[in-house]
Chain A
């Protein structure tokens, strides 16, 4: 099966028009030396039925969240997703369209981006937001590179409460630049503020903290702001899970200069890690506006004075500035940002708050129950939002296996990140009291 429409007769007609005998002749511009002298060895040629059988056979080997109750988080969250989202983004006008370069025939995409930017700015409390970046990790990295350009400094203080994968991505992005990364350790479950203070100096481009952090704890942003304010050039980058901002004070209130992170929790399926979307919001002064990476939609007027939308401030971007662009990003995660736009609109003023609130309360119900058990201790019992760090007297892998036998994915073994020991558990509004009780009961059996 293929997707070529033209028949042999039509192809012959076209060949005649071009003036060649056979299609192979057109490829004569490829020198013989580099021409493939055999057929590709790629299996396939399947009909739709064969394809679906083939894929289903493979898919059967997976254990999905459909059959297993998940308490997994760490940057990918299993929230409720309203049915309308997939119906709307399955409209071909959204998903088969290109980047809106011809604005007059792309007003749907452009206005959706404008609405996305508006709601992300509102949620984070910042002045402006871009159209999206590739994922949470690359958004954190781009925020750091941007801060280095704005501040013209090169020391970057990375909190160990920042997701380990985001730290690694940030360092990869920063590796070709003359950046000096310093990791600030933890005290209990939050950034060690004494260490942070001792590392602050005039060379600091940015302090990067996560809110709530990787272990679910809320950083003392007020004190971090006080420390940062002593150094004029240093910027504060807050990597925030946008869902939690439904009830948590926006980072703007604590002097954040850039807020960036992963937008997956806003209506996107867990999808084994992608496609997700990075978001980036910042202050609106000119120096930020000149340095923000990625596409931005803006409102303007058409020839008759009617409101319309275009991609704007494009002199920052690679297709105009080439080597002098603020970033190389071209394709971003437009469809995922459309998903998040529709999600934010659907949940609205009350819904986002309720999702955050229920996730918070259910996580605390679980932590309370677990703390009553003998073999477990919630490390950050006094400070977490909807995700927490558990220490266990029983081997973690045995616990995970026991839970899995009972169709529960009971947290992430922190050993995979090679830093702290324990289990990271996350609870969203989707989990029921019965599911949580079952988890606690099974843990009690250990």
Chain B
């Protein structure tokens, strides 16, 4: 089943490319730059075009994508990636443009970006967006730098950012990168922010609270208005991690919940493909008073002309060499124009309906640590199964044997043996039922024959991989 490395296809003198013959006078690099700067050898593969095609096709066959089947990774929102968006992003007129062409040359693209920005602001309830951040974590970093700059500009010193213990790992990591100290607060017995603990943690040194709402358990923070008041009264700002916006789109807007800054993961809510780990896009939205601090350049419209405005003296600067992940932005725009407000709301409803249906069908077999109403995702605990000899990791690996991808596991950290399940709206009832049945089957296997689950996976191209060996004896290249 294994596929050898591309270098093992190599045969001296073999070629997989052709270029037109050189049609200008020859000039020896070595003569011009000297021996010192002229490379002796490049030990790259020598392979034919067919070798390359066969090899990377063979590799792809060892992967599983959303088009293969359900991909229920909680928080990751693995919904279907519409093909038309791929075609649109590849249009020559849209993709064959250079970032330093003059604005007058690229009015079509700028108009798309401008409209996208407007739509995202309306969907999230914010006043202005920047499209520059290239991932969710990049967006968090951008948003926190904006907060930092705002306080510096006002001459107020603040050093802390509060992060709930159920938050994504990027939240505390981004806060530290932005120069803040992180204060982590425990959730209460309902999996939500503990108001009393929050009050204890808040003082005038707190710059921001970072919150995902609904949180990573899929539960909406019902005390959101009170939380916002507590933070704002202490002079801090409220940051919204938009990883779960797909749970409330069309039903509620972070801006209306009094969030001051947010990022949106276009590769989650707005269907752009994950690409095996990127590219993504983490567009950032702010309320009016934070507009001066947005990254440079700001896309503006003057009369009927779209321009990049570099004249923003209070800006935090640039976070990307150009304007962000443009190709991803084009796909997100296509998605939004396909759905419109009606489709967006229907999408939210079905994401939530699918998750609740699954939870209902699985809550007997597995432990449901929080009874609260969840929205687009839910978290089960595998503690019952663990007692019988198979861990959540084993269950995840066994799912692969059944040709289905595993949920997010061991996250959020507040749940033991966590399985975080997010089916998304694009899965149909049959697929949901099949996944539910598979999980139940695995649970039965644990009772009857735990070894088969503990030693999973059995049917994948490789068996369970030794991660300890990988870390102890790093083999990071050929």
Query: Are the CB atoms of A111 and B135 closer together than 8 Å?
Result: no
Query: Are the CB atoms of B346 and A270 closer together than 8 Å?
Result: no
Query: Are the CB atoms of A75 and B350 closer together than 8 Å?
Result: no
Q: Which residues of A contact B236 (CB under 8 A)?
A: none
User: B89 → chain A, closest Cβ, in Å?
Assistant: 8
Residue B455 interfacial (CB < 8 Å): yes
Map CB proximity to A onto B458-471 as digits: 1 under 8 Å, 0 otherwise.
Answer: 00111111110111
User: B360 → chain A, closest Cβ, in Å?
Assistant: 5
User: A275 → chain B, closest Cβ, in Å?
Assistant: 3
Q: Which B residues between 429 and 478 are near A, CB-CB below 8 angstroms?
A: 429, 455, 457, 460-467, 469-471, 474-478
Query: Are the CB atoms of A295 and B277 closer together than 8 Å?
Result: yes
Contact residues on A (Cβ < 8 Å of other chain), bracket: 35 or more
In the bound complex, how far is the Cα of B99 from the Cα of A165, in angstroms?
12
Query: Are the CB atoms of A168 and B318 closer together than 8 Å?
Result: yes
Query: Are the CB atoms of B19 and A99 closer together than 8 Å?
Result: no
Q: Which residues of A contact B67 (CB under 8 A)?
A: 92-93, 96
Map CB proximity to A onto B1-32 as digits: 1 under 8 Å, 0 otherwise.
Answer: 01101110000001111011011111101001
Residue A218 interfacial (CB < 8 Å): yes
Q: Which residues of A contact B372 (CB under 8 A)?
A: 29
User: B137 → chain A, closest Cβ, in Å?
Assistant: 4
In the bound complex, how far is the Cα of B10 from the Cα of A119, in angstroms?
14
Q: Which residues of A contact B253 (CB under 8 A)?
A: 36
Using CB atoms, name the residue of chain B closest to A397: B102
User: B206 → chain A, closest Cβ, in Å?
Assistant: 16
Query: Are the CB atoms of A248 and B39 closer together than 8 Å?
Result: yes
Using CB atoms, name the residue of chain A closest to B97: A272
User: A5 → chain B, closest Cβ, in Å?
Assistant: 4
User: A378 → chain B, closest Cβ, in Å?
Assistant: 14
In the bound complex, how far is the Cα of B398 from the Cα of A105, in angstroms?
11
Query: Are the CB atoms of B251 and A362 closer together than 8 Å?
Result: no
Residue among A163, A176, A416 having the largest count of chain B Cβ atoms under 10 Å: A176
Q: Which residues of A contact B405 (CB under 8 A)?
A: 98, 102, 105
Residue A56 interfacial (CB < 8 Å): yes
Q: Which residues of B contact A323 (CB under 8 A)?
A: 172-173, 175-176, 182
User: A140 → chain B, closest Cβ, in Å?
Assistant: 9
Map CB proximity to B onto A146-169 as digits: 1 under 8 Å, 0 otherwise.
Answer: 000000000000000001011011
Query: Are the CB atoms of A104 and B59 closer together than 8 Å?
Result: no
Query: Are the CB atoms of B86 and A3 closer together than 8 Å?
Result: no
Query: Are the CB atoms of A300 and B375 closer together than 8 Å?
Result: no
Q: Which A residues between 99 and 158 are near B, CB-CB below 8 angstroms?
A: 99-109, 111-112, 114-115, 117-119, 121-123, 127-129, 131-132, 134-138
Query: Are the CB atoms of A15 and B353 closer together than 8 Å?
Result: yes
Map CB proximity to A onto B165-209 as digits: 1 under 8 Å, 0 otherwise.
Answer: 000111011111111101000000000000000000000000000
Give 30 CB contacts A-B under 8 Å: A11-B353, A34-B252, A36-B253, A40-B344, A44-B343, A48-B84, A62-B108, A63-B97, A76-B98, A94-B60, A96-B65, A104-B464, A105-B460, A108-B60, A165-B321, A169-B319, A169-B321, A218-B37, A249-B39, A271-B95, A303-B463, A306-B462, A312-B471, A318-B173, A323-B173, A335-B275, A347-B17, A348-B46, A351-B17, A351-B19
Task: Add 11 more A-B contacts to A272-B98, A318-B172 (CB < 8 A).
Answer: A10-B428, A33-B225, A34-B256, A97-B66, A108-B60, A114-B478, A128-B474, A137-B318, A248-B37, A301-B469, A309-B465
